[in-house]
C-alpha cells in the first residue's frame, strides 16, 4: 500500500535504511521494480540526499527509516529542510499501536520530537487512512511554502490490509495557500517600479521553489526594467551570474556592490527572500531610505523583522506575471535618468573589486582553487553542492550559477555534513551530470560514511575538499572576535584522504602546488567514479568581504582590513 501510494505520487527514488519497524515496507519494496531504493550509511545522510534530490529536480524527496534511532537520526535533516523550505516526505516506522507509550524497544515519540522540525506530521493509527495520509503528505510538502513532512507508521498498521485510496479520490485538504497576489498591492508595486531612482531586486530561494517559470519571469523583468539584482545564498541561479544586471550575492559575506546597493537604494523589491539576519545585519540601520516591497507565499515572512511598505502574499511566478503584465500595459515606464546615475554609482562600487586576491607563492589560496574549478567546469552540465564554512562562502562568491536548481547548500541551518550526501542525491537524479561538492575537511568528515553509498550505486560524485586543517570559519571568528584565542578550531588527526578514498574503492587525489591544480582538477572531472580531492590550501585565509555582526551594510570589512578584534561591543553576542 505504501509503495503503491509512492508510485502514484510519481516517486522513482527512496533514500532509506531498514530496521525492525519498517520491515513490512521493505518487503513490499523488494517485490517491485518501479521504485529504486538507495541504501544509505546513516539516516542523516538519507535526508540530505533527499534534499539534494528535491532541490535539483523540484520534486519532493522521499526517505524511509525505522523507528527510534532511525527517526532521531533524521532530525537534523528535517530541520535543515524546514529552514530551507525543501519538500520532503519522510516515512518512519513505529512500534505497533498497542505498544505505543510502553517504552518499547526502539520506541521514540517521533511525532513529538519532529513536530517543531516538520511542516506537518502524522501518526497513522489505522490502515484505512494510510494511503490517504501519504497523498495528503505530498500535497502539504509541495503546496505553499514547501517543507518536510513526516508520516509515522506503526508496524501493525503496515501489516494490516485495507482498501487503497487512489490519489484522485483523496480530498485535498483545506490546506490551500493563497497564490495570486492582491491586485491593489501589485498596482502599488508597479507604480513604485515606474518612479524609483535607485531600485534593486533582492531575490531568494522562493524564486527557485516557485519553479522554472518564476526564474524565467524574473529574468524578463530584470532585462526589461534594467534594474540591478542581487540574491541571497539560497537564490543563486534564479538570475544568471553572467547577466549584466547581476551584482552578486548579498549579505554577511556578500559582494560590496550588492550590499552597498541594498543600503543605498530607494526601492527594494524582495522576491521570495525573508530578511534573514545574515542578510540584514543591524536592523535599525538596514537600508534606511528605501521603500520595501516583499513578495512571499508565506504571510508570516512579511513584517516578521523588517517593516514592509508593499506586502504581496502569493506565489512568486503568479505575482511576477501580474506585475510584468500591468507594468507593460501601463507603458513600460522607468525613471531613466535616475537609473543611469544609479548604475554609475554601482559601477564605482564594483570598481572596488571586493573579491580580488593574490595567488602567489607555493601554497594554493582557496579562492584560487575555486576560481580554477569554476573556469574548468563552467558551461558544463554541472551541479554544485557545499558543506558549511569558509569554503561555502567562497564557492558562493567565486562560482557562477546560470540556472536555478544547480546550487545546493545548507543556508538556514548551516549544517556541516550536508554537502556530501546532498551531492549523492543530486547525482541519483542526474546520473549523467557533473556533480561537485565543495567541502571543508571538517564538514566532509561529518558524513564521510556515505562514500560507501556513492560506491555502491556507481555515483561519480566529486568531493572537492578545501583542506585548511582548520575549522576555518570558527577560526576566523576567533580571530575577529576572541583575541586570536583559537580554542578547538584545529582539525587534528586528519585522515589521509587519498588512502581513505582508496579504502572505499574510490579515487583519491591530493594537490598542494598551484602549478598542478588545473591538471589535478581535470583528472578529477575525467575520472568515471567518485573522487575525493584533497586540495591543501592556505590555512589562515579569511573570508571577505564581511559585515561584522551588529553592523549595517555600509560597514563592511574588505580583504585588506585589519582583522583582529574587528567585532566588538554589542555585535559580540550575535552569531
Ligand X SMILES: Cc1ncc(C[n+]2csc(CCOP(=O)(O)OP(=O)(O)O)c2C)c(N)n1
**Positions marked catalytic:** 43, 105-106, 155, 473
Candidate list 414, 421, 514, 552; residue touching ligand X; CB under 6 A: 414
Q: What's the min distance (Å) between Cβ of 535 and another protein? A: 41
For the purposes of burial, counting CB atoms within 10 Å of the CB of 561, is it exposed (0-12), middle (13-18) or buried (19 or more)? middle
Does 417 sit near Mg ion (CB under 5 A)?
Answer: no
**Is 453 near ligand X (CB under 6 A)?**
no
DSSP strands (E only) in 374-522: 382-386, 407-408, 434-440, 462-467, 507-511
The interface with ligand X within residues 454-513 (CB under 6 A) comprises: 466, 468, 470-474
The reply to whether 268 sits near another protein by the rule CB under 8 A is: no
The reply on whether position 243 binds another protein by CB under 8 A is: no
Cβ–Cβ < 8 Å for 316, 204: no
Return the one option of ligand X, Mg ion, another protein, none that residue 32 interacts with (CB less than 5 to 8 A, by type).
none
Q: Is 182 in the site for another protein (CB under 8 A)?
A: yes
Please count the residues of this chain forming the interface with Mg ion, following the rule CB under 5 A.
Answer: 5
Q: Which positions from 117 to 156 touch another protein by CB under 8 A, shown as an x/- string? A: --xx--x----------------x----x-----------
CB of 38 to ligand X, least distance (A): 23
| Among ligand X, another protein, Mg ion, none, residue 415 binds (CB under 5-8 Å by kind) | ligand X
Q: Which does 119 bind (CB under 5 to 8 A by kind): another protein, ligand X, Mg ion, none?
A: another protein
Taking Cα atoms as reference points, which of 237, 179, 157 lies closest to residue 402?
237
Question: 269 vs 543, which CB is nearer to Mg ion?
Answer: 543
In angstroms, what CA-CA distances link 72 with 79, 92, 94?
12, 10, 12
| Contact call for residues 103 and 50 (beta carbons, < 8 A) | no
472 is a contact residue toward Mg ion (CB under 5 A):
yes
* Other Cβ atoms within 10 Å of 163 Cβ, number: 8
Q: Which of residues 93-112 bind another protein (CB under 8 A)?
A: 111-112
Q: Which of 18, 206 has the CB closer to another protein?
A: 206
Q: Give min distance, CB of 472 to ligand X, in A.
A: 3
145: left (phi over 0), alpha (psi -120 to 50) or beta: beta
Q: Does 397 bind ligand X (CB under 6 A)?
A: no
Contacting another protein (CB under 8 A), which of 5, 186, 260, 313? 313
| Grid coordinates of 250 | 548579498
The single residue listed with the C-alpha cell 531612482 is 197
Give 369's contacts (C-beta < 8 A, 6+ positions apart). 464, 466, 517, 535, 537
Give me the residue label for grid cell 517521533.
110
Q: How far is the CB of 473 from ligand X (least distance, A)?
A: 4
Binding span for ligand X by CB under 6 A among 36-44, 245-253, 381-389, 395-403: 381-389
CA-to-CA distance for 157 and 178, rounded, in angstroms? 35
Residue 427 binds Mg ion (CB under 5 A): no
Whichever of 298 and 403 has its CB closer to another protein, that residue is 298
Evaluate whether 573 touches 273 at the Cβ level (below 8 Å).
no
**Distance of alpha carbon 108 from alpha carbon 539, whole angstroms:** 43
Candidate residues 151, 265, 373, 442; the one interacting with ligand X per rule CB under 6 A: 442
Size of the site for another protein (CB under 8 A): 25
Residues 63/92, Cβ–Cβ less than 8 Å: no
Nearer to Mg ion, 298 or 469 (CB): 469
State the virtual CA torsion across 10, 15, 19, 21 in degrees, nearest 10. Answer: -30
Q: Which is nearer to Mg ion, 441 or 551 (CB)?
A: 441
CB of 494 to ligand X, least distance (A): 10
Residue choice 36, 169, 244, 307 for contact with another protein (CB under 8 A)? 307
Distance CA 390, CA 468 (A): 10
Q: Is 389 in the site for ligand X (CB under 6 A)?
A: yes
| Member of 131, 335, 468, 479 binding Mg ion (CB under 5 A) | 468
Q: Provide, for the chain, the percentages of residues in helix, strand and coil under a 3-state DSSP scheme, each rounded to the nearest 5.
A: 45, 15, 40
Distance CA 241, CA 215 (A): 13
Give the Cα separation of 169 and 128 in Å (integer): 13
Cell of 571: 555585535
Which residues of the shown chain bind Mg ion in the complex (CB under 5 A)?
Answer: 440-441, 468, 470, 472
Which residues of the shown chain bind another protein in the complex (CB under 8 A)?
Answer: 111-112, 115-116, 119-120, 123, 140, 145, 173-175, 178, 182, 185, 298-300, 302-304, 307-308, 311, 313
Which residues of the shown chain bind ligand X in the complex (CB under 6 A)?
Answer: 387-391, 414-417, 440-443, 466, 468, 470-474
Amino acid at each position: 500500500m505504501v509503495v503503491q501510494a509512492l508510485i502514484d505520487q510519481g516517486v522513482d527514488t527512496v533514500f532509506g535504511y531498514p530496521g525492525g519497524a519498517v520491515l513490512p515496507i521493505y518487503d513490499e519494496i523488494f517485490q517491485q521494480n518501479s521504485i529504486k531504493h538507495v541504501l544509505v550509511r546513516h539516516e542523516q545522510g538519507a535526508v540530505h540526499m533527499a534534499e539534494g534530490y528535491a532541490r535539483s529536480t523540484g520534486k519532493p524527496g522521499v526517505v524511509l527509516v525505522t523507528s527510534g534511532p532511525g527517526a532521531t537520526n533524521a532530525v537534523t535533516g528535517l530541520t535543515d529542510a524546514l529552514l530551507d523550505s525543501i519538500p520532503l516526505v519522510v516515512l518512519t516506522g513505529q512500534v505497533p499501536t498497542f505498544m505505543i507509550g510502553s517504552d518499547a524497544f526502539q520506541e521514540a515519540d517521533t511525532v513529538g520530537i519532529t513536530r517543531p522540525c516538520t511542516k506537518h506530521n502524522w501518526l497513522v493509527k489505522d490502515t484505512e487512512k494510510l494511503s490517504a495520509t501519504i497523498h495528503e503528505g505530498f500535497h502539504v510538502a509541495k503546496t505553499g511554502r514547501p517543507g518536510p513532512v513526516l508520516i509515522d507508521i506503526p508496524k501493525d498498521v503496515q501489516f494490516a490490509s485495507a482498501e487503497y485510496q487512489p490519489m484522485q479520490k483523496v480530498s485535498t485538504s483545506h490546506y490551500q495557500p493563497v497564490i495570486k497576489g492582491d491586485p491593489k498591492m501589485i498596482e502599488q508595486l508597479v507604480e513604485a517600479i515606474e518612479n524609483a531612482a535607485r531600485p534593486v531586486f533582492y531575490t531568494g530561494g522562493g524564486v527557485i521553489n516557485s519553479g522554472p517559470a518564476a526564474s524565467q519571469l524574473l529574468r524578463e523583468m530584470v532585462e526589461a526594467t534594467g534594474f540591478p539584482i542581487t540574491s541571497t545564498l539560497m537564490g543563486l541561479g534564479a538570475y544568471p551570474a553572467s547577466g549584466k544586471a547581476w551584482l552578486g550575492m548579498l549579505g554577511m559575506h556578500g559582494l560590496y556592490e550588492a550590499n552597498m546597493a541594498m543600503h543605498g537604494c530607494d526601492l527594494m523589491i524582495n522576491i521570495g527572500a525573508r530578511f534573514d539576519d545574515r542578510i540584514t545585519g543591524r536592523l535599525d540601520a538596514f537600508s534606511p531610505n528605501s521603500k520595501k516591497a516583499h513578495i512571499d507565499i508565506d504571510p508570516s515572512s512579511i513584517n516578521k523583522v523588517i517593516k514592509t511598505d508593499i506586502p504581496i502574499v502569493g506565489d512568486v511566478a503568479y505575482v511576477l506575471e501580474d506585475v510584468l503584465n500591468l507594468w507593460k500595459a501601463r507603458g513600460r515606464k522607468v525613471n531613466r535618468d535616475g537609473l543611469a546615475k544609479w548604475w554609475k554609482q554601482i559601477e564605482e562600487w564594483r570598481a572596488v573589486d571586493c573579491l580580488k586576491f593574490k595567488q602567489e607563492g607555493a601554497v594554493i589560496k582557496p579562492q584560487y582553487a575555486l576560481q580554477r574549478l569554476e573556469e574548468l567546469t563552467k558551461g558544463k552540465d554541472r551541479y554544485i553542492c557545499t558543506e558549511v564554512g569558509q569554503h561555502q562562502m567562497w564557492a558562493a562568491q567565486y562560482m557562477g550559477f546560470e540556472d536555478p536548481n544547480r546550487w545546493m547548500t545548507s543556508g538556514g541551518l548551516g549544517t556541516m555534513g550536508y554537502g556530501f550526501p546532498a551531492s549523492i542525491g543530486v547525482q541519483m537524479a542526474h546520473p549523467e551530470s557533473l556533480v561537485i561538492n565543495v567541502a571543508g575537511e571538517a564538514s566532509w568528515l561529518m558524513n564521510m560514511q556515505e562514500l560507501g553509498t556513492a560506491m555502491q550505486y556507481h555515483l561519480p560524485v566529486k568531493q572537492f575538499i578545501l583542506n585548511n586543517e582548520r575549522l576555518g570559519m570558527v577560526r576566523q571568528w576567533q580571530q575577529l572576535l576572541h583575541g586570536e584565542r583559537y580554542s578547538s578550531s584545529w582539525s587534528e588527526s586528519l585522515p589521509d584522504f587519498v588512502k581513505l578514498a582508496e579504502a572505499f574503492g574510490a579515487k583519491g587525489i591530493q594537490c598542494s602546488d598551484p602549478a598542478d591544480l588545473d591538471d589535478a582538477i581535470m583528472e578529477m572531472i575525467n575520472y568515471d567514479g567518485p573522487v575525493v580531492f584533497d586540495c591543501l590550501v592556505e590555512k589562515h585565509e579569511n573570508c571577505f568581504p564581511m559585515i561584522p555582526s551588529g553592523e549595517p551594510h555600509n560597514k563592511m570589512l574588505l580583504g585588506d582590513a585589519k582583522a583582529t578584534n574587528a567585532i566588538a561591543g554589542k555585535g559580540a553576542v550575535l552569531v
